[in-house]
Amino acid sequence: MTSHQTPQEAALATVRDAAPWPGTDERFVGYGVMGLPFRNGHYLALRHYVATTIGPGYRTVWHRDPGGAWSFYSGIEPEQSCPRYFADSPTTHTVHANIDLDWVGPYELRVTIPDVLDWRLELASTPATATMSAIGRRLPVSAWRSQAFLKAMEHTARPLMRTGRIGLCGSVPNGQRFGLAPQRLWAVAASSARLHGSDLGDPGPLPRQDRLGDFWLPQRGLFAVGNAEFETFDPTRHRTVVTSDRRG
pLDDT band at residue 224, thresholds of 50, 70 and 90? very high
pLDDT at site 248: 46
Mean of the pLDDT values across residues 50-63?
97
Interval 121-149 mean pLDDT: 94
What is the rounded CA–CA span in Å between residue 129 and residue 223?
A: 10
Write the CA distances from 126 to 111, 134, 221, 224, 230, integer angstroms: 23, 12, 12, 13, 30
User: Cβ distance 45 to 35 under 8 Å?
Assistant: yes
Residue 2: pLDDT over 60: no
d(CA 247, CA 236): 29
Max CA-CA distance within the chain?
47
Q: Does the structure show a pLDDT above 80 at 244? A: no
Instruction: Give the integer Cα–Cα distance in Å for 132 and 145.
Output: 17
The CA distance from 87 to 104, in Å, is: 32
Q: Residue 199 belongs to what H/E stretch?
A: strand 198-199
Return the sign of the alpha-carbon dihedral for residues 115, 192, 125, 171.
negative
What is the pLDDT at residue 241? 81
**Triad 7, 121, 73: Cα angle to 5°:** 100
SS3 label, residue 91: coil
* Model confidence pLDDT, tens digit, residues 180-199: 999 999 999 999 999 999 99
* Residue 85: CB atoms within 10 Å: 24
Classify 35 as helix, strand or coil.
Answer: strand
Residue type, 145: R
Chain centroid to CA 183: 13
The better pLDDT of the pair 158, 223 is held by 223
Does pLDDT of 60 surpass 80?
yes
- C-alpha distances out from residue 241 to 65, 92, 151, 169, 224, Å: 20, 10, 27, 20, 26
Cα 203 to chain center, whole Å? 17
What's the average model confidence in pLDDT over 147-171?
A: 92
